Amino acid sequence: MIWNEIVCLGDSLTYGARDRYGRSFPAELGKLLSEKTKEFYVCHNYGINGETSSDLLRRSWGILKSNKGSAKICLLLIGTNDTKIPIPLDVYEDNLRQIILSIKANGMIPIIGTLPALTFSPYYAKNRDWVLKYNKVIKNLSSKWDLQICSMDGMEEHLIDGVHFIHEGYNEMAKRWSEKILSLK
């Protein structure tokens, strides 16, 4: 049997918070890629609810090192919780820079997800415009370093609480990630 491993780093949007079946985009992505390629895919879910990019930076090296050699792709989706503070743009950019360099140093191809738009949520009400600012940082880094980006634009219809997705939203995320992965040359 042929199998493939993918590391998925992020916050509650990677973890799969609020999915009515307790699933996540990594779980759906493994299923979808297996169906499309007839190979077995394991998508390791390293999403933690409430994490910021600074939190992920602290723990990412150990995760990446432990998957070195087995995983060839790392999906990164982080920044929603940064908007609550908000973390300054230069700090967010440096956090991403260090995580991306760690991904590459451990022999994986990084694919960065843009942050989905937020609708109303008491915790994020004042700082929703920071999603656009952080997405600009992601796009600038992508241009600068020739990185792959997976767009999460236009997913508001799948939000359950203004931040997290219903099951169908995580399926849509998996679909978008799979298309990006399968487009790699």
**Residue pLDDT, tens place only, 49-83:** 999 999 999 999 999 999 999 999 999 999 999 99
* Per-residue pLDDT, 2: 58
pLDDT average, residue stretch 150-164? 95
Q: Is the pLDDT of residue 1 over 50?
A: no
Tell me which amino acid residue 163 is.
V
Tokens of 9: 């780093």
Percent of residues, the chain, with pLDDT higher than 90: 90
Residue 15 DSSP SS3: helix
Mean local confidence (pLDDT), 112-126: 85
